[in-house]
Chain A
Amino acid sequence: MISLLQGERFLRAPARVKSCGACIGWRRFHFKRRMAGGLILGDFLLVQTLNGLSFAALLFLLSSGLSLIYGVMKIVNIAHGSFFMVGTYVGLSVILKTNNFFLGAFAGGLAVGALGFIMERGFLRRFPLQALPQMMITLGFALLFRDLSLLIWGGDPYILPCPEYLKGSVKIFQVVFPIYRIFIFFVAAVVAVALWLFNEKTLFGAKLRAAVDDHEMAGGVGLNVPMISGCMFGLGAFLAGFGGVMGGPIFGVYPGLDFELLSLSFVVVIVGGRGSLLGSAVGSILVGLVDNFGKALIPELSYFTLFAPMALVVALKPTGLFGKE
């Protein structure tokens, strides 16, 4: 796979990617506008809001899986950011080989989905509802994944190639905005609706909810609860990997991406409330906007502006805004 990446078809990301992953595109975009002349307040608000929303879309793809795992199985999955990163790397390799963006996205998702399934069935299952051992094991896997992907894909940052028909940009009022970011917002919306339908309207969704509400009773009436929770963990991982590839043309992928995004998606889940799809959506939008405005207005305290409100929410309402007891 290394030789594959040494081809010339992919773009190497600029060096600054390393220092600031979560805001590469956004920061640069904003900077350009500031350089172009006086910044008009309305434009500024519009740009930052649009950027914040498309970032929120990505966060939703990442955090809905995390929320599923955390909310349903009460596992604090430290390896979730690694699923995102590994999925993106796999997607990158597949895209370079097949030149098909969506094939890459599904391959990335399926690969880490399988990894997640194995992790749950092989290891996490041995410590049901024990937060500390489970968390330590997922952390062990996070370190393994980080080092293995460094071994396989090397340490250079990559930007995934964006499909031809999604290149270009549109003009919204005074502001030029890339089509791909709007596209991402739609992908997230489709995933949200699909997840909701899956959860509420399908038989598997019903089994899943049964296993969540009372796993002993669900086992008693003949549901294969271990299998269901394995699949659930796999589904969460799939969403992360799929989201990673979708975000690839903007974020790129590089060593260290895993923990950087992990912290953001934790904020989303904590603020929104675990196990709640609506919570993930609202949390993503809040975090996307706060993060974006924070970085633009007071870059010095940008992490503080993000984490401090979260700490407050948790302190006042430990279950998050939309979480159930």
Chain B
Amino acid sequence: MKDRLTSKTKIIGLILTALGLLVMPPFYASYWITLLTQMLIFAILAMSLDILLGYTGLSSFGHAGFFGVAGYAVAILSTRYKMGFLFCFVSGVSLSILISMIFGFLVAHATGVYFLIITLALGMVLWGLAFRWVTMTGGDNGISGIVRPDIGLPLALKDPLTFYYVVLVFFLMAMVLMAILVRSPFGHSLKGVRESESRMRVLGYHSWLHKYLAYVVSAAFAGFAGVFWAYFNGFISPFDMDLNASIEIVLMVILGGPGTLIGPALGAGIIVFLKNFISAYTQRWLLILGTIYILTILYAPQGLVNLLKDWLKGRRNKACGKKLSD
């Protein structure tokens, strides 16, 4: 049996999502629009990590570093040198790619817990730079006053709704690109590396190169998200790329469902929503987040999407069984 959602559920879900994201936003209050924008940005970030974590089986704990690097590139270029959107976008993403290409040489040979530790350390290198290189990054205070760019549209991006739609377009673009990637032969051989690296090597695949490229690609999309985060927030600080931030992305992926693209996007949506919603009512957000970490690992280690899949499959099997016995 194919491991897929039933087509009916899939279509209903697709229609509802399209309604909620495309058609309805003009009717939402501006609070919800900014919240949705934030969810989309983190969804890109979580999906980018999933290329590594879910598809290649490498858990990176320094992923927020690339997100932050691109954000800082935008912040510095746009506030200090008054550069336009296109230049900032390209240089933000290229900087992430460049750094990941250097780091890739250090991490690509590692697996399992070593990969985890090395990426954690490299994430800290980036965080340490942001935190202490005060003349460049503003240190603890971060960089504020990033103005949303003029990208040649008749509408101003200061309007949250317009900005939302721009982010939505880029989100869909990123999602389609990543979907093509994971369904390509390259994506399938990444899964092969996840399942058994030694077997892939015996079959003649260059597993080191696959891991290296997966690392670079996921960093590129993290930078992609970072660019929009800087524009969205108007402010970037070392806290956007510290260990907490990195692990939060991992949580988004695990909560949603590693090895799918929808899952991490869903996980990102849930975490961003809870973070904003709960912290509006209580000071004890960390207490709740900590509990979510523990409960997720204990009860949904495969993620919500995979839980749902199993549940649907179980129901269908039951229905089939009934028909047969009748």
Report the minimal beta-carbon distance from B294 to chain A, rounded to whole angstroms: 4
Which residues of A are found within 8 Å of B250, using beta-carbon distances?
132, 136
Which residues of B are found within 8 Å of A76, using beta-carbon distances?
113, 116-117
* Binary contact readout A144-171 vs B (1 if CB under 8 angstroms, 0 otherwise): 1011101100000000000000000000
B9 at the interface (CB under 8 A from A): no
Q: What is the bound-complex CA distance between A270 and B113, given in angstroms?
A: 12
Q: Which of B120-128, B211-219, B225-233 contacts A (4 or more CB under 8 A)?
A: B120-128
Whether A304 and B132, one on each chain, are in contact in the complex, defined by CB atoms closer than 8 angstroms, is yes
CB within 8 Å of B: which A243-265 residues: 259, 262-263
Q: What is the bound-complex CA distance between A162 and B186, given in angstroms?
A: 61
Whether B293 and A314, one on each chain, are in contact in the complex, defined by CB atoms closer than 8 angstroms, is no
Q: What is the bound-complex CA distance between A141 and B175, given in angstroms?
A: 33
A-B pairs with lowest CB-CB distance, top 8: A303-B128, A140-B293, A143-B290, A147-B286, A144-B290, A315-B106, A140-B294, A307-B125
Please pick, from A136, A306, A310, the residue contacting B251 in the complex, using a CB distance under 8 A.
Answer: A136
**B residues within 8 Å of A by Cβ?**
59, 61, 105-107, 110, 112-114, 116-118, 120-122, 124-125, 127-129, 131-135, 140, 242-244, 247, 250-251, 254, 284, 286-287, 289-294, 296-298, 301
Q: Which residue of A lies closest to B129 (CB)?
A: A304
A41 at the interface (CB under 8 A from B): no
A137 at the interface (CB under 8 A from B): yes
Give the interface SS of chain B, mostly helix, strand, loop or mixed: helix
Please pick, from B125, B131, B293, the residue contacting A139 in the complex, using a CB distance under 8 A.
Answer: B293
A300 at the interface (CB under 8 A from B): yes
CB within 8 Å of B: which A92-150 residues: 123, 126-127, 131-133, 135-137, 139-144, 146-148, 150
Which residues of A are found within 8 Å of B298, using beta-carbon distances?
123, 126, 137
Give the size category of A's interface with B.
35 or more
* Binary contact readout A220-247 vs B (1 if CB under 8 angstroms, 0 otherwise): 0000000000000000000000000000
Whether B297 and A315, one on each chain, are in contact in the complex, defined by CB atoms closer than 8 angstroms, is no
Which residues of A are found within 8 Å of B301, using beta-carbon distances?
133
Whether A270 and B117, one on each chain, are in contact in the complex, defined by CB atoms closer than 8 angstroms, is yes
Q: Besides the contacts A140-B292, A141-B294, A144-B287, what 4 more A-B pairs have beta carbons closer than 8 Å? A: A146-B286, A302-B128, A303-B124, A314-B106
CB within 8 Å of B: which A271-307 residues: 299-304, 306-307
A209 at the interface (CB under 8 A from B): no
Which residues of A are found within 8 Å of B132, using beta-carbon distances?
299-304
Quick one: given A299-B132, A307-B128, A315-B105, are A140 and B290 in contact (CB under 8 Å)?
Answer: yes
